Amino acid sequence: MELNNPKVTHITDSQISSAGILLAETFFTDPLNQYVFPDPEERSRVLSWYFAASVREGAFLQSVYVTGEPIKGVAVWTPPGFHERTPERARHSGLDQIQRQFGPQAYQRFTGVINHLARFSSQVVPPAHWYLSLIGVFPACQGQGIGGALLAPVLLKADKEGTCCSLETFEEKNLSFYHRHGFQVVVAEIELYSQLRFWTMRRSPRTSPRPVRPLSLAGISFCPKEMKGHIGFISDDPAIMTRRNSKDIAGGQFIDRAIFHGNGCPPRNHHPHMRDLADGGASHRTNMC
């Protein structure tokens, strides 16, 4: 059952706490959170703090959208030009305390995975883009069009601006939802230490005539030895430059994927959301709506 045009508004300060609780519940069984916080009690406590702080940061940028009262869903975006977290934002949101709140071991697990994602995201997303940090809808309210309604304001704005959008997810079941809203998988990998699977998705503005193309076997070559160790998928969109260690479909042998160069999405040294987290942490990834 889908609702007709669920009402979407910018979040108010009085709704931040409720939005944080919603996201903590929605992401409680997320694979990354289970890996970072194996103990359920610790996970519940820290996620409630973390998501409230993340929503507070997004509200500071006026880029958090909610539906309904009480809140049924929330989406947290980071606008182009605001990916570098400033000390002021970290203090305002409380994310300058992330290392203390997480504890040293959980913080190390979290940053290990996030920094791995960053090495791929920086190659497939242009510097100026909308980043979907978080999106969640209460399970009882899913399937009612709320997720799509939460995405709509920024997707429309990105189309008008001619700007890309991006996200990461650790759950394969989410891919079809994002695909319906124009996102395409550009990286599908396994973080080798945690063995977590993740997908990076990118949405080109609807004004762009060229969609992201699926991977083909064309252009296979060898990369330097130090590039090896990545298992997964990348797009062969010529606007992407990235790499992978792949299994040849025809011969069943491991080969190194060529590095692709292009003009549409220039490479960067790091994903601004996923830099070293000592100054207040990275924005989280998205969840199913």
Q: Is residue 174 part of a domain?
A: yes
Indicate whether 207 belongs to any domain.
Answer: yes
pLDDT of residue 274: 35
Neighbours of 249 (CB within 10 A): 8
For 85, other C-beta atoms within 10 Å of its C-beta total: 22
The pTM of the whole model exceeds 0.95? no
Q: Considering the domain boundaries, does residue 288 fall inside one?
A: no
Is 71 within 8 Å of 22 (Cβ atoms)?
Answer: yes
The reported pLDDT for the residue numbered 5 is: 75
- Asked if residue 226 belongs to a domain, the reply is yes
Measured CA to CA, the distance from residue 257 to residue 224 in angstroms comes to 10
C-beta of residue 271 within 8 angstroms of C-beta of residue 122: yes
Residue 85: what pLDDT?
86
When divided into structural domains, the chain yields a total of 1
Mean pLDDT of the chain: 78
Provide the pLDDT for residue 210.
Answer: 52
**What is the C-alpha to C-alpha distance for residues 205 and 73, in angstroms, rounded to an integer?**
24
pLDDT at 211: 52
Show the domain range for 24.
8-279
Q: What percent of the chain has pLDDT over 90?
A: 59
Q: Is residue 149 part of a domain?
A: yes
Establish if 204 belongs to a structural domain: yes
Is 132 part of any domain?
yes
Which CATH number does the domain housing residue 173 bear?
Answer: 3.40.630.30
d(CA 249, CA 5): 44
User: Residue 244: its pLDDT value, please?
Assistant: 40
Tens digit of each residue's pLDDT (9 = 90 or more) over 74-124? 999 999 988 888 899 999 999 999 999 999 999 999 999 999 988 888 889
Parts of the chain with a pLDDT under 70: 1-4, 207-289
Residues 6+ apart with CB under 8 A from 214: 235, 236
In this structure, is residue 284 part of a structural domain?
no
A 10 A CB-CB count for 259 gives: 18
Element at 189 (helix H, strand E): strand 184-191
